């Protein structure tokens, strides 16, 4: 939401009643910013930084008496100056017997609703911005679809990605083939073992040109070039998702557990699991679609 210009902390404001739901120092309830930013020296001295507004006052006759619990009493000129400023603000602040209500800035007469955030977002969205056209295939397992989506965006923890995040690893070379830096497309497409799996899967689904691409994104794009029935395209797309997941899973097994997965075993796993997907999710005979 921050990327869309919507700052929840600044727009979600409390309309104080008795102060029973509002944190005195942290929430925005008097003015435009919280008291911890407005009076930072006093915030540092506060004994309970998450105290509610109601914890800081007592009703006395017809008035309000504000009270404090300090780690030590403010004693410097700067601290006393902030204390005077805080008291001046509080003296013109009204509290009531009712409960607090949360509102979205600009909607002072309405109680908070998710619709308020949605309306603010809609005003800040660029409708000409390209959309994410990733196809979420409901014949595939969610974990496979989600992983492939992250891989296409370069958000999987390969060696190069981990180094960019500041993780201290000795080398960013591929630990399976040691031929190139381990970037997402290398780990899932170009690495020797990954490439071997894709070759056999391409032959199986009769789509060799799909699995001869250089990147994962090009593979999924190439699927559109085939003049197949819609259901067959969807099935092959699900198989590509599963293949991506199995290759990554095998990579992790080898690196972290020292297990050596043979290419033919990975291919058999892909065939078996994809058959189960088609059987239980599509209610189609996968064998007929692949003919």
Q: What is the 3-state secondary structure (H, E, C) of 195-256?
A: HHHHHHHHHHCCCCCHHHCCCHHHHHHHHHHCCCCHHHHHHHHHHHHHHHHHHHHHHHHHHH
Cα–Cα dist 245/255, whole Å: 16
pTM of this prediction exceeds 0.75: no
52 near 19, Cβ under 8 Å?
yes
Nearest-angstrom CA–CA distance, 273 and 262: 17
User: Using one digit for the tens of pLDDT, what is the confidence trace for 13-29?
Assistant: 788 889 998 999 998 88
Question: pLDDT for 173-211, tens place per residue?
Answer: 998 888 899 999 999 999 998 999 999 999 999 988 888
Residues 6+ apart with CB under 8 A from 136: 145, 149
Q: Which of 208, 213, 198 has the alpha carbon at shortest distance from 247? A: 198
Percent of the chain with pLDDT over 70: 86
Residues 50-109 have pLDDT tens digits of: 999 999 999 888 788 999 899 999 999 999 999 999 999 998 888 888 888 888 776 555
* From 141-155, 170-184, 277-291, the region with the lowest mean pLDDT: 277-291
What pLDDT, in 10s, does the model give residues 257-276? 887 778 999 999 999 999 88
Q: What is the mean pLDDT of residues 225-245?
A: 93
């Amino acid at each position: 939401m921050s990327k869309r210009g919507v700052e929840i902390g600044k727009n979600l404001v409390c309309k104080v009643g008795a102060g029973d739901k509002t944190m005195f120092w942290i929430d925005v309830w008097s003015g435009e910013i919280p008291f911890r930013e407005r009076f930072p020296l006093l915030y540092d001295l506060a004994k309970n930084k998450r105290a509610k507004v109601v914890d800081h006052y007592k009703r006395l006759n017809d008035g309000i008496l504000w009270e404090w619990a300090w780690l030590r009493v403010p004693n410097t000129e700067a601290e006393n100056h902030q204390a005077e400023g805080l008291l001046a603000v509080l003296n013109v602040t009204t509290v009531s017997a009712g409960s607090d209500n949360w509102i979205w800035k600009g909607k002072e007469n309405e109680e908070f609703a998710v619709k308020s955030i949605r309306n603010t977002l809609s005003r800040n969205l660029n409708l000409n911005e390209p959309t994410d056209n990733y196809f979420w295939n409901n014949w595939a397992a969610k974990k496979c679809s989600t992983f492939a989506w992250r891989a296409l965006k370069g958000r999987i923890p390969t060696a190069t990605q981990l180094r960019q995040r500041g993780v201290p690893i000795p080398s960013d070379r591929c630990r399976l083939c040691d031929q190139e830096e381990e970037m997402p497309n290398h780990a899932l497409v170009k690495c020797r073992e990954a490439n071997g799996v894709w070759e056999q899967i391409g032959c199986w689904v009769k789509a060799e040109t799909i699995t001869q691409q250089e990147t994962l994104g090009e593979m999924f794009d190439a699927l559109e070039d085939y003049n197949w029935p819609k259901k067959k395209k969807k099935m092959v797309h699900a198989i590509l998702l599963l293949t991506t997941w199995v290759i990554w899973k095998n990579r992790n097994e080898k690196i972290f557990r020292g297990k050596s997965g043979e290419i033919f075993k990975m291919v058999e796993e892909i065939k078996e699991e994809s058959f189960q997907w088609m059987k239980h999710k599509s209610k189609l005979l996968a064998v007929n679609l692949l003919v």
